[in-house]
Amino acid sequence: MNNRPNILFVDDEQRVLNSMRALFRREFDLFLTTDGAEAVRIAANNRIDVIVADQRMPGLSGIEVLDQVKKMSPNTIRILLTGYADPAAVNDSINIGEVFRFLGKPCAPKVLRETLRLAVHATRPATHTNPPRLEPVAAIQSAARQAPEVALDVTSSNELPVLRPVPLGQPRSSPPQMKQPAKEVGVVVYTVDSAFAETAIRTISNERSTLLATSLIRAMRALEEDSSGVLITDITTEFARLQRIISALKQCVPELVTVVVADSRDSNNMISLINYGQVFRYEQKPVAPNQLLQDIDAAAAKHVNLRNNPEMASRHTVEDIPHNAFRPTVPLPPAARTNGGLRQESLRAIGGQL
């Protein structure tokens, strides 16, 4: 019985498809098409483990193809492979396509093969070698210690709701129940932008538990003590440090869902946040309150799904940040990945040493 993974490639250049066939026909069962609409039909009629789509094609764009496949086959891992990394396309690949990886053309065969194997593992974890996952506690501690404490006044208006403080020493609350409703998922907001902080507080705090952190130290401690499921982080400053934190958190707390806000849409930054952080949404300031609320509600639902189905964590495996920017060093016990215990152990260690 043939149990090889099914990979669907859609690219309007036949020479690209010919290359994919030559590279992967011995390892995977391949579906190849130059037409986006045909790719959607293939996905509707076959079990597709991974789809790799070009962005700029006649008819449906790659994002439109991935969006339609996501809706009809949410278990299919989605990868965008394109030579055109314009900001709008990269942003949509996060917010609409929810892609696993964003790869540029030309892509080295070794990189593409490793990405496909990782993606296949995410859809068929029982039949493929489990890739190593690492606990980046030391890296989070080191990066967060270097972040400055910032005083932020968002309480000047009497109309602002009162927030629970984020102290640096009180005992951690008990973890949430596995069947926690999405409406009860808490949010940690990390920002040093008073205007965005005010928008976030006004928008979210009446709907769900909300904690404001004005330093990375307090953000990490808030995640430990409150067991919040959603992190909203502003990347206005210190992108490299925040990227390391986001990547480390996704590795040690895979059920944590991150929404990023920024002053601009930088393609390279967004691609890094996809591949190294698996961020859930990316919004450019100013963020409309209704849009922010929609993002948070969707992120809370995603958190509950991941928490109740820990086997889905592999679908959000992130790459190590290259060179010497960040290298986790402490092995992650396999049992911790599947029972949710890693969050409490690792974040307690972070909170105790910051």
Render pLDDT for 136-153 as a digit per residue (tens, 0 to 9): 444 444 544 454 444 444
- Same domain as 339, residue 260: yes
On whether residue 244 sits in a domain, the answer given is yes
On whether residue 221 sits in a domain, the answer given is yes
The β-bridge relationship of strands 6-10 and 50-53 is parallel
- Same domain as 140, residue 122: no
- Same domain as 298, residue 151: yes
- Same domain as 111, residue 159: no
State the pLDDT at residue 154.
Answer: 46
List the one residue out of 312, 293, 164, 143 whose CA is nearest residue 230.
Answer: 293
- Same domain as 111, residue 157: no
- Same domain as 228, residue 305: yes
Q: Is the pLDDT of residue 317 over 90?
A: no
Q: Is the pLDDT of residue 179 over 80?
A: no
- Same domain as 149, residue 96: no
- Same domain as 324, residue 196: yes
End-of-domain residue from the set 96, 127, 158: 127
At residue 103 the predicted structure's pLDDT band, cuts being 50, 70 and 90, is: very high
3-state secondary structure the chain: CCCCCEEEEECCCHHHHHHHHHHHCCCCEEEEECCHHHHHHHHHHCCCCEEEECCCCCCCCHHHHHHHHHHHCCCCEEEEEECCCCHHHHHHHHHCCCCCEEEECCCCHHHHHHHHHHHHHHHCHHHCCCCCCEECHHHHHHHHHCCCCCCCCCCCCCCCCCCCCCCCCCCCCCCCCCCCCHHHCCEEEECCCHHHHHHHHHHHCCCCCEEEECCHHHHHHHHHHHCCCEEEEECCCCHHHHHHHHHHHHHHCCCCEEEEEECCCCHHHHHHHHHHHCCCEEEECCCCHHHHHHHHHHHHHHHHHHHHCHHHHHHHCCCCCCCCCCCCCEECCHHHHHHCHHHHHHHHHHHHHC
- Counting the structural domains of the chain, the total is 2
CATH number at residue 120: 3.40.50.2300
> What are 218-254's pLDDT values in tens digits?
888 888 776 789 999 998 767 888 888 888 888 888 8
Q: Taking each helix axis as running N to C, give the angle between helix 239-252 and helix 267-277, from 0 to 180 degrees, rounded to the nearest 10.
A: 20
List the one residue out of 71, 53, 75, 52 whose CA is nearest residue 123.
Answer: 75
* Calpha distance 46→128 (Å, rounded): 21
End-of-domain residue from the set 72, 104, 127: 127
End-of-domain residue from the set 127, 162, 188: 127
On whether residue 292 sits in a domain, the answer given is yes
| Alpha carbon of residue 162 to chain centroid | 30
State the pLDDT at residue 180.
Answer: 62
- Same domain as 145, residue 120: no
- Same domain as 171, residue 273: yes
State the pLDDT at residue 353.
Answer: 41
On whether residue 1 sits in a domain, the answer given is no
- Same domain as 187, residue 98: no
- Same domain as 144, residue 36: no
> What are 55-89's pLDDT values in tens digits?
999 999 999 999 999 999 999 999 999 888 889 99
List the one residue out of 57, 59, 6 whose CA is nearest residue 30.
Answer: 6
- Residue span of the structural domain in which 42 resides: 6-127
